[in-house]
C-alpha cells in the first residue's frame, strides 16, 4: 500500500504544479507591459547591462521551452516568449538571463549542479534496476549502491531549488531596478515565476518520495 502511495502522490503533486504554471502563464500572457518590451528585448537589455555582450539570444519553437545553454553561451527563448510583450514573457526571459548571470559570476550552486549532472543521470536511470536486481538476487551491495546513486538525484533537485529561486530573484530585482516592469506588471511577473518555481519544489518532493520508496523496499527485504 505504501509503495503505491509513494508513487501516486508525487505524480499528483507534479501534475498540479505543471497545471498551475501553465494556467498562470496563460493568464498573464494576455497582460502586456506598458513599454511594449518583448522577451527578446528584455533579455538583450539585461545581458548588456551585466556586460554579457557575448551571450547570444536565439528563437526556438514551442511554449515554455526557454532555457540558457552554457555550452553554447546562448539564451534560447520560445515562441511564447521571444516576440511577446506580455509580462509573463518578460519575466521568463529575465529568469533565463538570470542563469547566464549566475554562470558569469560563478554562482556556487550552479557550479555544483553542473558537476553532479553526470552522476544524476546515472542515478535516475540505474537506481531502480539495481535495487530490483539486488532484491531478486539477494545482493545487498547492489541494493545499497542503487540507493546511494539515487541520493545524487535528490541532491541535484535540492541544489536546483537554490539555482532557480536565485535566478527568479535576480530577474525580479533587475526588472524593478531598470523600470522594465512596474506596479501590477511586476506583481504579475512574480506570480508567473513563483508558479514556475513550485514545479521545482514538486520535483524535489517527487525525488524524496522515490528515495523513501527505495529505502522501504530495502527494509522489507531485511525484515524477511
What is the β-pairing status of strands 74-77 and 56-59? Answer: parallel
Q: What is the pLDDT of residue 135?
A: 87
Q: What is the pLDDT of residue 139?
A: 87
Q: Could you tell me the pLDDT band of residue 56, with boundaries at 50, 70 and 90?
A: very high
C-alpha to C-alpha distance for 170 and 73, rounded to whole angstroms: 19
Q: Is 96 a catalytic residue?
A: yes
Beta bridge partners of 58: 76
Residues 6+ apart with CB under 8 A from 119: 149, 152
φ, ψ at 78 (rounded to 5°): -80, 175
Tell me the average pLDDT across 206-219: 89
Q: What is the pLDDT of residue 162?
A: 95
For residues 46 and 78, the answer to whether their CB atoms sit within 8 Å is no
pLDDT in tens, 177-205: 999 998 899 999 999 999 999 999 999 99
Annotate 77-116 with b (16+ C-beta within 10 A) or e (fewer).
bbebbbebbbbbbbbbbbbbbbbbbbbbeebebbeebeeb
Query: Which one of 58, 96, 176, 182 is the catalytic residue?
Result: 96
C-alpha to C-alpha distance for 52 and 72, rounded to whole angstroms: 14
Tell me the average pLDDT across 117-121: 92
Tell me the average pLDDT across 42-68: 94
pTM of full prediction above 0.75:
yes
Amino acid at each position: 500500500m505504501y509503495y503505491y502511495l509513494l508513487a501516486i502522490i508525487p505524480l499528483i503533486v507534479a501534475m498540479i504544479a505543471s497545471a498551475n504554471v501553465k494556467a498562470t502563464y496563460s493568464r498573464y500572457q494576455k497582460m502586456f507591459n506598458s513599454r511594449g518590451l518583448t522577451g527578446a528585448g528584455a533579455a538583450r537589455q539585461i545581458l548588456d547591462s551585466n556586460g554579457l555582450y557575448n551571450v547570444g539570444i536565439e528563437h526556438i519553437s514551442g511554449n515554455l521551452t526557454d532555457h540558457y545553454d552554457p555550452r553554447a553561451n546562448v539564451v534560447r527563448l520560445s515562441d511564447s516568449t521571444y516576440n511577446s510583450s506580455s509580462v509573463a514573457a518578460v519575466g521568463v526571459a529575465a529568469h533565463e538571463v538570470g542563469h547566464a548571470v549566475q554562470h558569469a559570476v560563478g554562482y556556487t550552486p550552479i557550479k555544483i549542479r553542473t558537476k553532479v549532472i553526470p552522476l544524476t543521470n546515472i542515478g535516475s536511470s540505474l537506481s531502480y534496476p539495481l535495487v530490483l536486481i539486488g532484491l531478486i538476487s539477494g545482493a545487498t551491495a547492489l541494493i545499497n549502491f542503487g540507493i546511494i546513486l539515487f541520493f545524487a538525484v535528490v541532491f541535484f533537485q535540492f541544489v536546483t531549488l537554490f539555482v532557480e529561486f536565485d535566478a527568479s530573484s535576480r530577474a525580479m530585482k533587475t526588472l524593478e531596478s531598470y523600470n522594465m516592469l512596474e506596479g501590477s506588471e511586476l506583481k504579475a511577473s512574480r506570480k508567473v515565476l513563483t508558479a514556475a518555481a513550485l514545479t521545482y519544489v514538486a520535483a524535489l518532493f517527487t525525488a524524496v518520495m522515490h528515495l523513501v520508496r527505495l529505502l522501504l523496499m530495502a527494509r522489507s527485504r531485511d525484515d524477511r
